Structure 1
Amino acid sequence: MTDALTQLTQLPDPRYVMAEDGMRIATYTWGEEEAPVVVLVHGFASNARDNWVETGWVRDLLRAGYRVLALDQRGHGASDKPRDPRAYELRLLARDVEIVLDTYLVDTARYVGYSLGARVGWEVTLDLTDRIERAVLGGVPDGVPLARLDLAQVRAYVDDGIPVQDPVTQNYIRLTERVRGNDTRALLAIAEGMRSSGTADPDPRRAPAQPVLFATGSRDAIIEGSRALAAACPRGRFLEIPDRHHFNAPGSRVFRQGAVEFLAEP
């Protein structure tokens, strides 16, 4: 009983996968190797433990019979944390996921991502049409990721300790400082990289063909954009997560249950 509880509530030791540019990506697995795979990709300033283990996602997916494969995106968790914005182009983040699947010899998988992980998931789902069977994209922005972050205020806070005034940016700073092991300068580089690389908004005219569940909190400012992306997908569906904002939606039981049920559909 104790071993089973440990599996559901703690991270195993990371296995490192080498990205194309030499960055080490920390990965984690749970469940039987023969089971269908769900790959989990967390949001900005979070990590696999914070986004998926402590919120009950790994537990619920294991109980549903899946093998779970999670990663700490570059700049997060136990993965390498470069401070060069060029290391965080969206294409690199999407390619990291593909390399992880290749390393684990995963032919097909279901994808679950939140926030930045959902924006990456839009690209992964488009790139790997034959490998990603269906996807859950939670809190996905319809524009450039982290566009609501005031970079000047973050930079002043990091460099000189000047308090952040913008409320949305304050929330991101609180999240950054709450999650153990975060490197604020690396996270600033992520936000700068998303802006400077010319990352395009998700193009509704080139939407994923697979079944995709979009899920966003009812109190999240991006909800209408997420709803529009769902409407643009030929097999898209939208789940409104009641009484949740962007930063606490991953812990919603409604979100987890809706996602698990969606992933199980034929």
Structure 2
Amino acid sequence: MPSFHHGDVEIAYLDEGEGDPVVLVHGFASSKNVNWVYPTWVSELRKNGFRVIAFDNRGHGDSSKLYDPEDYHIGTMASDISALMDHLAIARADVMGYSLGARMTGILAQTRPERVRSGIFGGLGIGLIKGGGPGESVARALEAPSLDDVTDPFGRTFRAFADQTRSDRRALAACLRGSRRLMTEAEVASIKVPTLIAVGTKDEIAGSAQALANIIPGAEVLDIPNRDHMRAVGDKVYKEGVLKFLSRRP
């Protein structure tokens, strides 16, 4: 598996296929494989003529594990995307993030729009501005001795997922505490790149997709029917909607 260094942090990534580049940014406690390879996103995008780049966020998968929350500032994590693009000599790409990855995508689209051909926010709606996502109860759940010690339902969901993916739970807790900065409404309103917001209709974490679309000029909404936050990732409607969006964007 190839990797590169962004400062002292080693970032593992994959780079497959040919065509317009699409960078995939996974969610919290996930990895490039869990979020994008196993649900067949990489193969589907390749089959449709795209070059696919996916990486493990710092603290996740095969990338460096860090234990200081300051190392996970959301702006720093977003800069890992552009650093990987620099490493691969990619000037501009479509960027799709899921959940935490969508937060990173939003920051990059707002601060470095020249690098983002289009932005796809999966599993994140108005939560980009008004909270949403895991909080301190999840960090404590990750630090608990075992799943049996976690009583908070939300915390149990993420702890079980972290155990399933064999993640470094201490690194995840630091990431959660360090990456919680929300974007302001003014920052979000300044996003000018073509934007798709794809959220499951039963997602209780993301917040309203339409409410976010009302703030981002020209943003489109893709409802993923009957899917919650965890089960929307590999949905056929999600894949078809993204491919259609990518075929229409400038």
TM-score (norm 1): 0.86
- The reply to whether residue 28 of structure 1 matches residue 11 of structure 2 is no
Q: Which residue of 1 aligns with 2:168?
A: 183
Seen in structure 2, the aligned counterparts of structure 1 residues 121 and 38 have a Cα distance that, compared at 3 Å, is same
Q: Which residue of 2 aligns with 1:79?
A: 63
Q: Which residue of 2 aligns with 1:96?
A: 80
The correspondence of residues 85-234 of structure 1 with structure 2, limited to 5 A, is 85-140=69-124, 141-142=127-128, 143-144=130-131, 146-151=133-138, 153-154=140-141, 157-158=144-145, 163-180=149-166, 182-195=167-180, 199=181, 201-207=182-188, 208-234=191-217
Provide the aligned length of Structure 1 versus Structure 2: 244
TM-score (norm 2): 0.91
Deviation at 1:36, TM superposition (A): 0.7
User: For residues 224-250 of structure 1, what are the alpha-carbon distances to aligned partners after superposition, in whole Å with 9 as ceiling and x for unaligned?
Assistant: 433211111112011111111111110
Seen in structure 2, the aligned counterparts of structure 1 residues 31 and 154 have a Cα distance that, compared at 3 Å, is same
* Mapped partners of 1:100, 1:144: distance in 2: 28
Q: What amino acid maps onto 1:230 in structure 2?
A: A
Gaps of 5+ in 2: none
Deviates more, 1:94-103 or 1:135-144: 135-144
**Local SS of the residue matching 2:77:** helix
* Mapped partners of 1:58, 1:251: distance in 2: 11
Which contiguous aligned blocks of 4+ residues in structure 1 show a shift greater than 4 angstroms? none
User: For residues 122-155 of structure 1, what are the alpha-carbon distances to aligned partners after superposition, in whole Å with 9 as ceiling and x for unaligned?
Assistant: 0011122122111111112334564445146426
* Mapped partners of 1:132, 1:152: distance in 2: 31
Deviates more, 1:93-102 or 1:125-134: 125-134
Superposition RMSD in Å: 1.8
- The reply to whether residue 17 of structure 1 matches residue 1 of structure 2 is no
* Mapped partners of 2:230, 2:62: distance in 1: 21
Seen in structure 2, the aligned counterparts of structure 1 residues 168 and 102 have a Cα distance that, compared at 3 Å, is same
Q: What amino acid maps onto 2:235 in structure 1?
A: S
Seen in structure 2, the aligned counterparts of structure 1 residues 104 and 260 have a Cα distance that, compared at 3 Å, is same
Seen in structure 2, the aligned counterparts of structure 1 residues 162 and 222 have a Cα distance that, compared at 3 Å, is closer
**Local SS of the residue matching 2:4:** strand
Seen in structure 2, the aligned counterparts of structure 1 residues 118 and 163 have a Cα distance that, compared at 3 Å, is same
**Local SS of the residue matching 1:77:** coil
Identity %: 33
